[in-house]
Amino acid sequence: MTKVNLERIKQLRKLNKLSQEEMADKLGFNTKYPYHRKELGNQPFTAEELQHIAHIFGKPMEYFFNQDVAINATGQEVC
């Protein structure tokens, strides 16, 4: 299963010395609260928002995703 790595988004934002309010502005939100909820995982980022975030930080979109691999009872990865 593929999941968005919210911690990477947060780390990049902080590394680039951007506040949640500044990120919200860059994504076109009127206030910081929608962005804050998304960064916390309370509301998902849309594909368009993730694409914009990737562009802001100069990263490929894949950078923001984790591939969770299940391990079955025999200890082998299940994809």
CATH superfamily label, 2-78: lambda repressor-like DNA-binding domains (1.10.260.40)
Q: What is the mean pLDDT of residues 7-29?
A: 97
Question: What pLDDT, on a 0 to 100 scale, did the predictor assign at position 74?
Answer: 55
Express as a percent the part of the chain with pLDDT over 90: 80
Q: How many CA atoms lie within 13 A of 61 on its CB side?
A: 10
76 pLDDT above the threshold of 60? no
**pLDDT category of residue 70 using cuts at 50, 70 and 90:** low
* Integer Cα distance of 7 and 61 in angstroms: 14
In the 8-state DSSP scheme, what is residue 27? Answer: T
Distance CA 41, CA 44 (A): 6
Separation between Cα atoms, residue 65 and residue 2, nearest integer Å: 6
